[in-house]
Amino acid sequence: MSKTLDFYFDFYSPFGYLASLQIDELAAKHGREAIWRPTLLGPAFKAMGQTTMLEIPMLGDYAMHDFDRYARMQNVPVKVPKKMPNHALPAARAFYYINEDEPALAKKLAKKVFHEIFNQGRDGSKPELLADVAEELGIDSAALLTAIAQTDVKQRLFDEVDKAMARGVFGSPMIFVDDEPFWGNDRLEQVDLWLQRGGW
């Protein structure tokens, strides 16, 4: 598969999690590979003068209700972490560090991180979660934790966040089919149709 699509997400995005369970299959159906691009939404929210959906009165309560209902509809068991929103900084840094040489492994790591956060309800801001996931994948967790504390590894994530911002990523998930942006797990059907028809 030479063609790709871009899958932007924040590890703390409930709807990003739901989309992550479908995006690879959806891309493959159309002969594409989904390139996973974890980002941090903090800078985008700042530019928008926004907080996360969950922190907004009325909308926040609805959004979690909507998420639970969506997950039940898709038969996806979910357990939301106690502290929401939050930042999965260690995992996001580790993703790009590993991705440089081993993109397939980085994607596996991302899937497991998502699973720990939204299926197990674990705290994704803690290095312990990353360490456990790394060990499961046969990665030396102590070496990984040391690596992600280095300035250049930290900077790499910030560069990716800047690039996502420059591309107009303001939410999670956001999928780009070539230059066409789709925001939300609820746009996956349109992504499917867009790929099938080549746009409309």
Nearer of residues 69 and 163 to a second copy, judged by Cβ: 69
Cα–Cα distances in Å, from 63 out to 15, 52, 56, 144? 10, 11, 10, 35
The enclosing H or E element of 2 equals none
- Tell the smallest beta-carbon distance from residue 111 to a second copy (Å): 26
- State how far the Cα of 163 lies from the Cα of 109, in Å rounded to an integer: 22
Nearer of residues 18 and 129 to a second copy, judged by Cβ: 18
Sole binder of a second copy in the list 160, 171, 172, 191 (CB under 8 A): 171
Nearer of residues 28 and 72 to a second copy, judged by Cβ: 72
- State how far the Cα of 41 lies from the Cα of 62, in Å rounded to an integer: 20
Query: Residues 16-46, buried b or exposed e (16+ Cβ, 10 A)?
Result: bbbbbbbbbebbeebebebbbbbbbbeebbe
Q: Is 28 in the site for a second copy (CB under 8 A)?
A: no
Piece of the chain touching a second copy by CB under 8 A; list 70-78, 94-102, 137-145, 152-160: 70-78
Nearer of residues 162 and 186 to a second copy, judged by Cβ: 186
Contacts with a second copy by CB under 8 A lie at 44, 47-50, 56-59, 61-62, 65-66, 69-70, 72-73, 168, 170-171, 181, 183-184, 186-187, 190, 193, 200
